Structure 1
Amino acid sequence: MSTSILVVDDEPDLERLLVQKFRRQIRDSTLRFLFARDGVEALAVLAANQDVDMVLSDINMPRMDGLSLLAKLQERDAELSTIIVSAYSDMANIRTAMNRGAYDFVTKPIDFPDLEATIVKTIHHVEALREAQRRQSAAEQARASLSRYFSPNLAERLASSAETLDLGGTRREVASLFTDLTGFTTLVETIEPSVLGPLVNDYIVGMTDIVFAHDGTVAKIIGDALHVLFGAPADQPDHAGRAVACSLALDAFARSFREDWSRKGIILGDTRIGAHAGTAVVGNFGGARFFDYSAYGDTINVAARLEVANKTLGTRICVSGSLATKAQDFRGRPVGDLLLRGRAEPIRAFEPLDAAIYASAETQAYMEAFGKLEARDHGALASFAALVGRNAEDRLASFHLKRLLNGETTTIITL
């Protein structure tokens, strides 16, 4: 690699001496010298040659001296390493030059072996600076890319630890969460693009902001749907609790968003959310060309199917019993034992609730009714009928009432 040096000195013989002393490096193209006779000419040379790596400058020169040149370089924010050349008797000016950002100095008369050693040292310094700048630029690009998927704090950690996102996957304990806005396809076909664009953008930004607030990872965004992970790529011992809290926050945002757009004449469906906890293979599976942070395994499939199960159950959030068990202080009402597609055994599912709703008399009445259903108590039908009579909007209670009226007698629900 060639290093370009601008020599700024009004001594007529210096150019010839430098070309002679460094002729081998010039011939091998490892060094390239440019020359200027004062600071004014030096600035013009620098403007015409953006690849100059260092400046070798005298102090005492006509029109613009070396100290003034240093000040101009600082004003330009030029990232150049400067070597000052001056006599020992001019030591006060040399100190001033060093205070103004000069990297090193050599004294006159020039000792060329000393000058060569100083140039080599400065080249190493320039290379170190460039490597630091390259790393900083790479880190900034990584942060910009990662911030689309991860919370700001997590993106910062990952950008400074690239090995965390090496190609390939690792098996880890995660909580997987899926969301879906019902009726989105119909919405796309019925409203103008000028309306659809802001609607979808605001919805996705609002949803992802909530995910990031809970330090979740957005693994996928497909249209209006999100796939979110907790516990990956960084360990989160409380990943299950984060998933539950995030689910409730996403539901609250989606309901508020729906109401806002309803006032504008746009009717949106519910946002359905499903979540499950377990092991999954997680990593960057995009190959060398693409960043595709993904998760695979039964844990992911179950979470996706729980999201779909909401449509049948009448719920907006449905989480697995394994997630509920792992989440500290979980509050929710049991949905039933879901026999999901592709699974031989049913899994217990719950509808998470905030503290106030969980403590309400209506929730306690539901718990009693569900307890009777579990015990195959014939009084379950009357209990669920009373619940629906008091609150026709309780779609989960209505779902169980219809099941009982159709002859179902257990908590097992085939989906």
Structure 2
Amino acid sequence: MRKRRGVSPSLLSCAVVLLGCMAVLVLAPLPVQQLHNAVFDQFQRWQPREYTGAPVRIIDLDEASLARLGQWPWPRTRVAELVDKLREAGTAAIVFDVLFAEPDRTSPALLLQDQGLDDALLSQLQALPDHDSQLATALASSNAVLGFGTERRPGANGLPLSRYGLVATEPSPIPFLPQYASAVRALPVLEQAALGSGALTFDPDTDGVVRKVPLLVALGDQARPSLVAEALRVAQRSPLYRVHTGEAGIERIDIGRLQIPTNRRGELWVHFTVPQAVRTIAAWQVLAGQAPAGLQGSIALIGTSAQGLQDLRFSPLGGIIPGVEVHAQALEQILSGEYLQRPGWAPAVEALALLLGGLLVCLLALRVRALPAAGLTLLLIATLNGLAWYAFSVERLLLDLFTPGLGLALLYSVASISHHVASEREQRWVREAFSRYVSPNLVKHLVDNPGQLTLGGHRQVCSFVFTDLTGFTEMMERQTPEAVVSLLNDYLEQVIGIAFRHDGTLDRIVGDAVAIMFSAPLPQADHAQRALSCALEIDRFAQGYVAQLQARGIAFGQTRIGVHSGEVVVGNFGGSTIFDYRALGDPVNTTSRLESLNQYLGTRVCVSAAIARSNPQVPMRAVGKVQLKGKSAAVEVFEPLQAVDDAYDAAHLLLMTGDAGALAAFTALHEQRPADGLVRFHWQRLAAGERGDAFAMTRK
């Protein structure tokens, strides 16, 4: 018997799934990007940046400041006072994370309009100092940076002023930068007084979490710095930016003495710290002259944590933080020289890990036993994730090897299922091969009587034992194919050994089912006794075998057995190509039906009257006259026992004679023996209104 050869379906399925996983990883659709971000966020939660006390402070327009000094917006005169206080404290730069796009409505000229004053008085009042001009004066005497907003639609009020030069290598960085169509600028009088103007914008990812801060943005065909970049430039008194661009995008941006690695879009990955109270000073404290030490030489960021002003952002660490803190943490990170980087080669490394790991996992799943293969696959996935964690915790590199690990898990599952299917197919082939094996006594008979090695048969009275396992399909699903085959081979070997010890002939093996015949090829006068003795020994062995496996935590089905005698045609069948020595006739089918009958009766062994009459020494209890599926005549069926069951026999006598007391008798027996399957069967019949000991089976 030869197996067909060709392309392995398991290999083909592995190749298809591996290519699919590679395509998804390389194309990086939104779910994959979100998975990358989730991995990087978890890394930050496990190891947030250690706060090192960089010279960056947040001047917080907090709830307490608003409660003491009034709601925002404050008069520009008060903002000018805040600027003067910070300048006097020796700050390196004063950076506004707020937008002054409209004139101060508390200025006298605006406040007194439409008040009905006479022209002379109105003229005198309008001559009072303008609040925006007072703020401009304060800005001009300090190192101030204002913010501007960005819009993706055209319009707004033109490009912000630039007080710097920008030197860029080829190719131009503009196409790689975050793109905006226009800007919302600060008032011209304020913008001209400040030393710098930076974009307030940073775009959160699709889940609303801010992970990156741009250093430059594109406004049309012009590059403009972000608030963070301008804060660094002004603090260092630097006159220009240097942008290093490669074919894949922006690689680095230099601001003064600082060389800042970025992603291809000129963005900085922010490595967040847990909240730090020392980072923040309430604005009212500065105005009251109660600011703690630490402002000298620092970059002071003026922003708000007040909920009503709605400048709150989601952090990778899982909380909500003010937008000004994102700028502050980015500045701290740059000044301390600690950078998170996702190198341009990171996607290639992740794809290579998936490719090489996928090939290894497929090889393991298809060539190694299930448990070691699963263990090695888990070890490989754990190793990849360990390397990614090492890259983050030691080198500050953002590599996502968790996503390739999911691909490897999927590959292993597909390969294992494919291998399981192939193993089942192999087992079917093995079972077909086993069905061609013959018993030793048959071999001996044919060697001694070579003349009988011809096609045809003759009539002979024989006895048959059929066995089958319950729950074999479920056992195949719960355990690996290798484990099932090993258990089944051990079980079949012992069952067949019992048959051979009783001089039975192996008729056939069909999966987990065994058919044994007696009195063929050599007549045996005591074939009925041999058959029953063989069946009872198989029953004892099977119960012990199941108990042993259960003690080891392995589930194995119970063995059902049917025994019957009758006249059959015995001989060689199958044509001239192959000899198949077996018995054909109704007794063979009856034996099979008796074996199946056990599952409905709750018994393990069912025998016919022919077997029962030939074994008077074996205690038995009558089941009844059963019309088996496909049979027109009823068969008397018995269950062999270890000892006589008088109580059952008395109840069965009432049942057999149609006595109305049968129901009460079986009800009492059922209450005494709830686990007795045959008692339960008759009790249910009688409770359903049936009478007598004759019944028909409508199923096999």
1:208–1:282 Cα change, 3 Å: same
1:215–1:165 Cα change, 3 Å: farther
1:346–1:172 Cα change, 3 Å: same
Deviations 1:322-356 (A, max 9, x none): 22223353431101110112222211100112xxx
Matched, 1:250 2:532: no
Matched, 1:272 2:553: no
1:163–1:308 Cα change, 3 Å: same
Q: Which residue of 1 aligns with 2:497?
A: 209
Q: Which residue of 2 aligns with 1:294?
A: 582
Deviations 1:78-110 (A, max 9, x none): xxxxxxxxxxxxxxxxxxxxxxxxxxxxxxxxx
Considering only CA atoms, is the larger Rg found in Structure 1 or Structure 2?
2
Q: Which residue of 2 aligns with 1:305?
A: 593
Matched, 1:408 2:693: no
Matched, 1:262 2:550: yes
Any gaps of 5 or more consecutive residues in structure 1? 1-144
Q: Which amino acid aligns with 1:376?
A: G
Tell me if the contact between 2:436 and 2:580 (Cα under 8 Å) persists in the aligned partners: no
Q: Which residue of 2 aligns with 1:370?
A: 652
Q: Which amino acid aligns with 1:149?
A: V
1:285–1:147 Cα change, 3 Å: closer
Q: Which amino acid aligns with 2:643?
A: Y
Any gaps of 5 or more consecutive residues in structure 2? 1-433
Q: Which residue of 2 aligns with 1:138?
A: none
Structure 1 residue 266 displacement after superposition: 1.8
Tell me if the contact between 2:603 and 2:639 (Cα under 8 Å) persists in the aligned partners: yes
Matched, 1:181 2:463: no
Structure 1 residue 212 displacement after superposition: 0.6
Identity of aligned residues (%): 42
Deviations 1:267-321 (A, max 9, x none): 1221111121111111121333323112111111111111111111111111111
Aligned equivalents of 1:358, 1:162: Cα separation in 2? 46
SS of residue paired to 1:358: coil
Matched, 1:158 2:446: yes
Aligned equivalents of 1:290, 1:153: Cα separation in 2? 19
Tell me if the contact between 2:506 and 2:516 (Cα under 8 Å) persists in the aligned partners: yes
Q: Which amino acid aligns with 2:648?
A: Y
1:241–1:328 Cα change, 3 Å: farther
Q: Which amino acid aligns with 1:358?
A: A
Aligned equivalents of 2:598, 2:441: Cα separation in 1? 32
1:203–1:384 Cα change, 3 Å: same
Tell me if the contact between 2:435 and 2:509 (Cα under 8 Å) persists in the aligned partners: no
Q: Which residue of 2 aligns with 1:284?
A: 572
Deviations 1:237-291 (A, max 9, x none): 1111111111111111111111111122221221111121111111121333323
Structure 1 residue 160 displacement after superposition: 2.0
Structure 1 residue 202 displacement after superposition: 0.5
Structure 1 residue 147 displacement after superposition: 11
Tell me if the contact between 1:336 and 1:349 (Cα under 8 Å) persists in the aligned partners: yes
Q: Which amino acid aligns with 2:682?
A: H
Q: Which residue of 1 aligns with 2:513?
A: 225
Q: Which of 317, 320, 327 matches 2:605?
A: 317
Aligned equivalents of 1:146, 1:155: Cα separation in 2? 15
Tell me if the contact between 1:275 and 1:303 (Cα under 8 Å) persists in the aligned partners: yes
Q: Which amino acid aligns with 1:242?
A: R
Structure 1 residue 148 displacement after superposition: 4.8
Aligned equivalents of 1:190, 1:290: Cα separation in 2? 37
Tell me if the contact between 1:146 and 1:155 (Cα under 8 Å) persists in the aligned partners: no
Aligned equivalents of 2:448, 2:608: Cα separation in 1? 35
Aligned equivalents of 1:162, 1:351: Cα separation in 2? 40
Structure 1 residue 366 displacement after superposition: 0.6
Aligned equivalents of 1:301, 1:267: Cα separation in 2? 30
Q: Which residue of 2 aligns with 1:393?
A: 675
Structure 1 residue 157 displacement after superposition: 3.9
- Which one has the bigger helix percentage? 1
Matched, 1:349 2:631: no
1:166–1:326 Cα change, 3 Å: farther
Aligned equivalents of 2:477, 2:435: Cα separation in 1? 32
Q: Which of 150, 161, 170 matches 2:458?
A: 170
Tell me if the contact between 1:238 and 1:327 (Cα under 8 Å) persists in the aligned partners: no
Q: Which amino acid aligns with 1:158?
A: L
1:225–1:292 Cα change, 3 Å: same
Structure 1 residue 172 displacement after superposition: 0.5
Q: Which of 639, 643, 664 matches 1:358?
A: 643
